[in-house]
């Protein structure tokens, strides 16, 4: 039986999202070699082509001054060895389905120089980088999405290499200028980019917004679907939550709780592949010796680097995560019979040492009754069932606890604080009031989250998916042989090493 996706038709969605004039000439700038992203691009472009749209393709991964996070192999070396790269294959497949060869465009500005001065004279911390702009667009936030290495912390006390910031700024500016030129020269009426978060995709979407043309964003879909496509910024969590509630409301009542609930059950059973990194060190069913307490409050921390650069009004939150934890600890201490347990996010095991040290220092200052560090083998799901109240700064654990019928308080940005399943505490006073409620929120609201995680977006309609491979027009989106990938990764590491010095 075919899987039902959130949206049944890419064709219908595109006609609804873009007017006929906006669909007239759609630009697809691409900088990645990730096969799932290229499959989403190809499916959308092929659909628009069939609708009569003019397509402009810009597979510019080899040309950016700084290699994209999704770049992995040299196109020239792949062609030389008879093993084309994944983006080369995607381009060939799109031409094979009838998109004219003239649609395949090279960067139009041959001798490029930045349109504004972007000279970086000294190392910079996050606040200084965040302030960088290019033609009025948030270049700095885009730079902060791509770290030089895995040991780059999110703290403001760390200064990023001048060379790295300079190279990232030039790469953003290069994409912005090249995309702006293509839009003007070819009369582009809409732009479709991957994710919208990373350096080059963000520059492309910024160029489109400045030019006044609409932007569509494609991304990974749900566990049971293939990709998502939206006209809202990928990380607009309010929009995503509206979609969750609408999806749940429109789904068959006899199926929605089963499908949505399966997402939670797989995580509870430690069988969800996308959660394995967090649970691999935990012993399923392992709990703590519950302290004698009238109210056991368990705080699950969030992974800070995943929320640091979201474009949010941070003034609407109670403070930074360490500040929020300090307020919570003080509130618990002021209430007889309350005990606070802090469960530090398991992902912190893989985070920069400085970030881990600063978080552990924040926990020490908060002085909870019990602290489970990132290496603890206690099962987070068994722990949440021991809790009387679960508190997070935005961790997915919050909505999982709501599914388990626990009262949930969220103090930071999340993708479930508008579903009715958790109380959002934006001030110290709201936190105090929420601790007195001790009533579970909307269980259907929580289930709507799981339903979206399983069925978000679309099924591929033109690209064929078989197991873990994608195929269009008889061409499989495969990575080149391993020697070519090793060579590409070596070049990427050398570039990062040099620029990080």
**How much is the mean pLDDT over the chain?**
93
Q: 307 pLDDT exceeds 70? A: no
Summarize pLDDT for 429-443 with one digit per residue, the tens.
999 999 999 999 999
Q: 305 pLDDT exceeds 60? A: no
Distance set, CA 221 to CA 35, 118, 195, 455 (Å): 14, 36, 11, 7
Q: Token pair for residue 322?
A: 């360490």
Residue 315 makes CB contacts below 8 A (sequence gap 6+) with none
Q: Of all residues in the chain, what percent are helix, strand and coil, respectively (each to 5)?
A: 45, 15, 40
The owner of tokens 């936030």 is 141
Q: Token pair for residue 383?
A: 């722990």
Position 312 confidence tier, pLDDT thresholds 50, 70, 90: low
Position 489 confidence tier, pLDDT thresholds 50, 70, 90: confident
- Out of 3.10.170, 1.10.10, 3.40.50, 2.40.50, select the CATH number for domain 10-221+458-500: 3.40.50
pTM of the model: 0.94
Query: How many beta carbons lie within 10 A of that of residue 12, not counting itself?
Result: 10
Asked: is 252-453 a CATH 3.40.50.150 domain? The reply is no
pLDDT of res. 486: 74
Q: What residue segments make up the domains of the chain, in order of their start?
A: 10-221+458-500, 252-453
CA distance 98 to 356: 52
Look at residue 282 and give its three-state secondary structure.
Answer: coil
pLDDT of res. 482: 81
Summarize pLDDT for 241-279 with one digit per residue, the tens.
999 999 999 999 999 999 999 999 999 999 998 888 788
Q: Is 320 exposed, middle or buried (0-12, 13-18, 19+ CB in 10 A)?
A: middle
Summarize pLDDT for 441-453 with one digit per residue, the tens.
999 999 999 999 9
What angle is formed at CA 270 by the lines to CA 385 and CA 293, rounded to 5 degrees?
A: 15
pLDDT of res. 310: 64
Summarize pLDDT for 26-77 with one digit per residue, the tens.
999 999 999 999 999 999 999 999 999 999 999 999 999 999 999 988 887 7
Position 377 confidence tier, pLDDT thresholds 50, 70, 90: very high
**Cβ–Cβ < 8 Å for 360, 374:** no
**Cβ–Cβ < 8 Å for 18, 190:** yes
Same CATH fold assignment for domains 10-221+458-500 and 252-453: yes
């Amino acid at each position: 039986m075919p899987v039902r996706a959130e949206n049944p038709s890419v064709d219908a969605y595109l006609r609804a999202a873009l007017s006929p004039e906006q669909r007239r000439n759609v630009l697809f700038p691409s900088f990645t070699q990730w096969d799932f992203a290229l499959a989403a691009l190809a499916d959308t472009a092929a659909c628009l082509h069939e609708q009569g749209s003019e397509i402009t393709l810009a597979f510019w991964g080899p040309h950016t001054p700084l290699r994209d996070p999704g770049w992995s192999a040299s196109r020239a070396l792949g062609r030389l060895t008879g093993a084309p790269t994944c983006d080369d294959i995607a381009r060939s497949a799109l031409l094979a389905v009838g998109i004219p060869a003239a649609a395949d465009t090279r960067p139009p500005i041959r001798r490029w120089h930045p349109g504004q001065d972007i000279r970086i004279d000294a190392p910079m911390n996050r606040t200084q980088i965040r302030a960088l702009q290019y033609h009025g667009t948030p270049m700095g936030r885009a730079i902060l999405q791509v770290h030089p290495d895995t040991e780059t912390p999110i703290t403001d006390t760390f200064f990023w290499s001048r060379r790295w910031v300079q190279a990232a700024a030039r790469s953003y500016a290069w994409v912005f200028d090249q995309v702006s030129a293509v839009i003007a020269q070819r009369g582009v009426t809409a732009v479709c980019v991957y994710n919208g978060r990373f350096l080059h995709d963000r520059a492309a979407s910024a160029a489109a917004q400045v030019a006044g043309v609409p932007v569509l964003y494609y991304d990974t879909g749900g566990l049971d679907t293939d990709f998502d496509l939206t006209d809202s910024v990928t990380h607009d969590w309010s929009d995503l939550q509206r979609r969750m509630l609408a999806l749940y409301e429109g789904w068959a009542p006899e199926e929605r709780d089963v499908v949505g609930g399966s997402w939670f059950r797989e995580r509870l059973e430690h069988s969800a592949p996308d959660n394995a990194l967090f649970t691999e060190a935990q012993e399923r069913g392992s709990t703590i010796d519950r302290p004698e307490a009238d109210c056991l409050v368990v705080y699950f921390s969030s992974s800070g680097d995943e929320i640091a650069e979201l474009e949010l009004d941070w003034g609407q939150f109670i403070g930074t995560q360490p500040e929020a934890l300090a307020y919570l600890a003080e509130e618990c201490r002021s209430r007889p019979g309350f005990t606070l347990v802090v469960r530090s996010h398991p992902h912190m095991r893989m985070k920069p040492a400085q970030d881990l040290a600063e978080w552990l220092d924040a926990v020490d200052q908060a002085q909870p009754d019990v602290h489970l560090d990132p290496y603890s083998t206690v099962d987070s799901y068994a722990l949440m069932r021991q809790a009387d109240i679960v508190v997070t700064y935005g961790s997915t654990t919050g909505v999982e606890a709501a599914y388990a019928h626990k009262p949930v308080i969220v103090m930071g940005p999340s993708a479930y604080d508008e579903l009715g399943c958790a109380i959002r505490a934006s001030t110290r006073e709201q936190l105090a009031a929420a601790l007195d409620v001790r009533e579970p929120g909307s269980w259907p609201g929580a289930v709507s989250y799981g339903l979206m995680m399983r069925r978000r977006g679309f099924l591929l309609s033109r690209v064929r998916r078989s197991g873990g491979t994608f195929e269009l027009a008889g061409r499989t989106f495969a990575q080149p042989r391993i020697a070519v990938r090793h060579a590409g990764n070596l070049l990427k590491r050398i570039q990062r090493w040099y620029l990080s010095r």
